[in-house]
Amino acid sequence: PVMRACCACCRGRCIVGACWFLMCPALAAVTPLRHNYYALRHGQSLANVEGVISSDPAVACNHHGLSETGLQQARRAAEAVCAEALLTGVDGVAIVSSDFKRAWQTAQAVHTAVIARGLSCVPASAVCAETLLRERSFGTLSGGPDSRYADVWVHDAVSATHTEFGSEPVTSVRERAWGVVERLEAELPGRCMVVLVAHGDVLQILQTRFACVDPRTHRSLPHLETATLRRLSLPLAAGAG
């Protein structure tokens, strides 16, 4: 990968002493991704309705599922997944989801639709639960008003390794989410449509790895609305799938 001295705009805050977007590992990739990857944010949740941050697994795995509107959104997203699978002619659809209730219910709606359409699901029997796709931990802010997200994001824009409020660093989120992609590349057969059902910050941050941009800029990327399906591709120079 290309590596240069830290640019002036970074004011010495760059991780490992060089700009992320000048040394992204994706630029060194020699083979394209075998599978087609998509981000799918969960449908509207009860936490969204209540306006609270829900990032504690002890709570979110059992509570804060989809609202009635969220269930409707999930069914529409499921139809979008089926349409995309048919359009792209993949060998099968792999649905990999956070085990938080709101994401899991969204993923189940997708699985039901894929099976009903007679499409091949990988594996056929179930959604794949993936704890590495859980929502980013917001530390002491979890359970509080969702207006406090912005208090974390302002620090994200300065440092991808900060832990203000006990929040999980951006780098940690990016590494664990990308690790899921790397494992699926190795394990899934054929050429699949891989639907990663997860959460706002996790998917926004994962997009920076696919786009090969500074992870601190994740909030500057197009916002992923609830129950929205979005294709994730590496830059062409890195062999986008």
**Largest separation between any pair of C-alpha atoms in the chain:** 55
Q: CA–CA separation, 202 vs 150, rounded Å?
A: 15
pLDDT digits (tens, 9 = 90+) for 165-190: 999 999 999 999 999 999 999 999 99
Question: Two tokens at 38?
Answer: 């998509």
pLDDT at res. 4? 31
Task: Evaluate the omega torsion of the peptide bond into residue 57 and state whether it is cis, within 30 degrees of 0.
Answer: no
- Amino acid identity of residue 120, one-letter, is S
Number of other CB atoms surrounding residue 194 within 10 Å: 26
pLDDT digits (tens, 9 = 90+) for 184-229: 999 999 999 999 999 999 999 999 999 999 999 999 999 999 999 9
What is the average pLDDT across 41-59?
A: 98
Segment holding 229, helix H or strand E: strand 229-232
pLDDT at res. 26? 45
Asked if residue 32 has pLDDT above 90, the reply is no
pLDDT digits (tens, 9 = 90+) for 123-154: 988 899 999 999 999 999 999 999 999 999 99
pLDDT digits (tens, 9 = 90+) for 81-92: 999 999 999 999
Asked if residue 101 has pLDDT above 90, the reply is yes
- Amino acid identity of residue 140, one-letter, is T
pLDDT at res. 124? 83
pLDDT at res. 200? 96
Give CB contacts under 8 A, 24+ apart, made by 9-17. Answer: 13/158, 13/159, 15/160, 15/161, 15/171
What is the average pLDDT across 32-49?
A: 97
Q: What is the mean pLDDT of the chain?
A: 89
Band of residue 235 on the pLDDT scale cut at 50, 70, 90 = confident
Band of residue 24 on the pLDDT scale cut at 50, 70, 90 = low
Q: CA–CA separation, 18 vs 23, rounded Å?
A: 7
Q: With both helix axes pointing from N to C terminus, report the angle between 200-211 and 170-187 in degrees, rounded to the nearest 10.
A: 70
